[in-house]
Structure 1
Amino acid sequence: MGPLNAVVERYMPSAFLFAVALTAVVAVAALIVTDSGPAEVVNGWGDGLSGLLAFTMQMVLILLLGYMLAHTGPVHRLLVKLGSVPRSEGQAYIFVVVVTAVASLITWGLGLVVGAVIAKEVARQGKTKGLRLHFPLLVAAGYSGWVVWHMGYSGSGPLAAATEGSFVTELTGQVIPMSETTFSIWNMVGAVLTVIGVAAAMYFVRPRSASKIIEFDPKQEAAAYVKEDINTPADRLDASRWPTLLLGLALAAYIIMHFANGGTLTLDIVNWSFMMLILLLVANSSEMLALVRSSASNVGDVVFQYPLYAGILGIMASTGLMEWLTQKMVMISTEATFPIIGLFSAGLVNIFVPSGGAQFAVQGPIVLDAAQALGVDPAIAIMAVAYGDQWTNMIQPFWALPLLAIAGLKIRDIMGYTTITFLVSGVFFAGILFTANLFL
């Protein structure tokens, strides 16, 4: 691990410069392998900048609300209790991976936030117990647990395939229920095995030498909410439990009716579920607004950088570069090797477009069409794209930004460790897809 960390710390640029470099690489590639000229590339990039604004807002909300939910009184107390569970250094790293993975399988936004919060809490309480814990590795363990998010409840690829009227229905002539993708036995067993493998990797790469351990620095952190004096009728209204409670109950009623009427789980429903829980768990509107202010600082980098990745997607989609890349990889596939090739192609595309929903919308039809031609079950094709999307997040800094903001670290502090996660999880993902394809 030492040499790998040294290389990463020395040469890994900031997440912003990484996005700029990817933009340049994609632009040059489009000029070389497609018929597009410079003007078409620039137009594709410029038009793409605003192409994911609605999706960007969904992403911002899920991070904002996930952070707020993790810092509501009841949830934060639960995380504090969880932070006291590990009794040794090795247990601490394993525990952070497992807790984050469970949260990520429920919904990816919660997993990102919980990964950072539980890493800090385990580090804080470990220090009081006399444990020598390497804080960057704890945070890396928190991010590593997120590697299974697309195998869980909020996976955008399987959700799209299970939605009536989606492009998946048009291509395959059927809705692919989540019982064949997310909730299939092979995917659920695969998720458990992957988490075990990643947790074991974090355990074995932990630094043994005291000189290499960077401990958590318990800085003075301002409370997310400090009760204010109540002097006026307006103060009493802000301190009242009823406005947030009634709004939370109304949102709960809407969500129940949504599912009762045959509605499916979407990113919007995930966000409204988060909002409902926040409204029901906070003490009053003053606490809720304090949580908003506290969490807003953790989504700034995402807000600014997401249009850059939308621009990259614009180039890849408008010039045909993504289609060219996917088709070249699929062309060398056979029925047996298709899942592995699909995994690698999706992983490669995700480095340039780190958005599960946007990637699946563009790459999904090409992969599904190839799967049909080769006689591969569409569920395998869907999960190959899903696995590839979550896999290379471990070497792509974009989604680590909120976690790092909460933890107060830089991407180069954890990337050496998450690269190990990338290698280990890749073996599991390839094995799961290859094995499942043999029996479907």
Structure 2
Amino acid sequence: MGPINALVERFIPSALVFAIVLTLVVALGAVLFTDAGPTTVVTSWGDGLSGLLDFMTQMCLVLLLGHVLANTGPVRAGLSALASIPRGRVLPYVFVALVTCLATLITWGLGLVVGALLAKEVAAQATRRGEPLHFPLLVATGYTGMSIWHMGYSGSAPLTAATPDSFVAKQLGHTIGITETTFSWWNLTAIAVALLAILGTVALMAPKAGAEVVDMPADGHAEPTRFTPPRETPADALDASRVVTLLLGLMLTAYLVLHFSNGGTLTLDIVNWTFLAAILLVVASPAELVELVKDAASNVGEILVQFPLYAGVMGIMTGTGLIEKLSDLVVSTSTPQTFGLLAFLSAGLVNFFVPSGGGQIAVQGPILLDAAERLGVDPAVAVMAISYGDQWTNMIQPFWALPLLAIAGLRIRDILGYTTMILLSVGVVLAATMLLVGPGV
């Protein structure tokens, strides 16, 4: 791992600079490889800047609410108990990866926050025991779930394909049930094999006995101070009352129960309201909630800047036809047997420019579904090829690592050497799955 880490630290810039450079590269590519001129490229970019504002709000809430929830007293106690389980030289890294992957298969937002916070707590407890762990690797293991998230319950592409009024249903004339995608036997098998590949790779990357490790920053070991609000006036008493937040939490919980009992599905909004309901139920007072939000808000700033940049990249890709050029290349070089593999690889490439599962199925889905139909390939294969490619290159795309890095206090270059190894091991599993499935089973 030494040479890879040295290369990453020397040449990989910050996540913000990466987004800026990517914008310029895509703009140049659009000018060179499409009929769009500079004016069209700039217009497409500018029009696209606001394309992810709703999604940006959702993502920032995932980070903010997850951070707040994890720093409430009861949840910190639970994380502390969970983090006390793994001991030794290798098991802590494998344990964090396992918990993260399982949480991410439920919903990626939960996995991102759980991975970062569990990594910090495991590191803190190990240091207190006099057994410091290599913190960059530990944080990297907390990100591994994003390499398999799109195979799970909250996968954007399969859920879109299963929705009656979606563009997929309109294009095909029918929906693609999740039993054909997420819960197909071959996808479930791929999940199990990919998970084993992740855990095995993490175990191999664990530092050898006696090797030098980089411990968690000193400020990361500090226990959060408990906020005690004043009670000098009736207004202070309300601010310090648990009843206020508890009542609102019960009301929000009732809404969530009604949502699911009426057949509602798990969406990003519902994930956020679940976080908020849990916070309201366990927080000590409105005053404590305000303090926790203030602390969590400091982690959101960099994401707010980068979302418009990636939305602008998406605007260039769609507005100039560059995305069609990439997909047409897949069709022209595919056979029914190799379509899934090449579609997967193209989706992995597109993920650099459109790092959103929902955005990627919207951009690339119509093209690959049409290509699958022309080649006689099951459309479920096209949907899962997009899913596999989208999740695969998350390991070297810094966008989704931002919440994790903000919580952990690290830079993308600190973990990229390790996540690159996960990219390689999981990539073999996903590529083999697509090749074996072929035109569909």
Q: Give the TM-score range, shorter chain.
A: over 0.9
Which whole-Å deviations, capped at 9, do the CAs of 1:242-263 have from their partners, x for residues lacking one?
Answer: 2222222222232333334343
Instruction: Output the CA distance in 1 between the equivalents of 2:77 and 2:56.
Output: 30
CA contact (8 A) 1:26 1:316 kept: yes
Which whole-Å deviations, capped at 9, do the CAs of 1:160-196 have from their partners, x for residues lacking one?
Answer: 1222201011122222232322233332332222122
Superposition pairs of residues 367-378 of structure 1, within 5 angstroms:
367-378=368-379
Instruction: Output the CA distance in 1 between the equivalents of 2:178 and 2:290.
Output: 36
Superposition pairs of residues 23-422 of structure 1, within 5 angstroms:
23-208=23-208, 210=210, 212-219=212-219, 221=222, 223=224, 225-422=226-423
Where structure 2 has 5 or more consecutive residues not aligned to the other structure, the ranges are none
Q: What displacement does 1:369 show?
A: 1.6
CA contact (8 A) 1:224 1:290 kept: no
How many residue pairs match? The answer is 440
Alignment CA distance shift 1:70-1:433 (3 Å): farther
Q: What displacement does 1:288 show?
A: 2.2
Q: What displacement does 1:303 show?
A: 0.8
CA contact (8 A) 1:377 1:437 kept: no
Instruction: Output the CA distance in 2 between the equivalents of 1:8 and 1:55.
Output: 30
CA contact (8 A) 1:67 1:110 kept: no
Counterpart AA for 1:208: K
CA contact (8 A) 1:163 1:264 kept: no
Partner SS, residue 89 of structure 1: coil
Instruction: Output the CA distance in 2 between the equivalents of 1:174 and 1:278.
Output: 40
Instruction: Output the CA distance in 1 between the equivalents of 2:55 and 2:217.
Output: 36
Which whole-Å deviations, capped at 9, do the CAs of 1:131-150 have from their partners, x for residues lacking one?
Answer: 24211111111112332111
Instruction: Output the CA distance in 2 between the equivalents of 1:23 and 1:224.
Output: 42
Q: What displacement does 1:211 show?
A: 5.1
Q: What displacement does 1:350 show?
A: 0.4
Alignment CA distance shift 1:287-1:320 (3 Å): same
- Which 4+ stretches in 1 moved above 6 angstroms? none
CA contact (8 A) 1:159 1:265 kept: no
Instruction: Output the CA distance in 2 between the equivalents of 1:381 and 1:217.
Output: 44
Instruction: Output the CA distance in 1 between the equivalents of 2:88 and 2:434.
Output: 35
CA contact (8 A) 1:115 1:143 kept: yes
Of the structure 1 ranges 430-439 and 264-273, higher mean CA displacement relative to structure 2 is found in 430-439
Which whole-Å deviations, capped at 9, do the CAs of 1:40-78 have from their partners, x for residues lacking one?
Answer: 000001111112211211221222222223223332222
Partner SS, residue 218 of structure 2: coil
Where structure 1 has 5 or more consecutive residues not aligned to the other structure, the ranges are none
Of the structure 1 ranges 4-13 and 54-63, higher mean CA displacement relative to structure 2 is found in 54-63
Q: What displacement does 1:118 show?
A: 1.0
2:17 is matched with 17
Instruction: Output the CA distance in 1 between the equivalents of 2:241 and 2:306.
Output: 38
Q: Percent identity?
A: 56
Counterpart AA for 2:214: I
Root-mean-square deviation over aligned CA pairs: 1.8
Instruction: Output the CA distance in 2 between the equivalents of 1:152 and 1:302.
Output: 25
Of the structure 1 ranges 200-209 and 256-265, higher mean CA displacement relative to structure 2 is found in 256-265
Instruction: Output the CA distance in 2 between the equivalents of 1:331 and 1:188.
Output: 30
Instruction: Output the CA distance in 2 between the equivalents of 1:113 and 1:314.
Output: 29
Instruction: Output the CA distance in 1 between the equivalents of 2:187 and 2:45.
Output: 36
Counterpart AA for 1:100: T
Instruction: Output the CA distance in 1 between the equivalents of 2:279 and 2:178.
Output: 27
Instruction: Output the CA distance in 2 between the equivalents of 1:326 and 1:125.
Output: 48
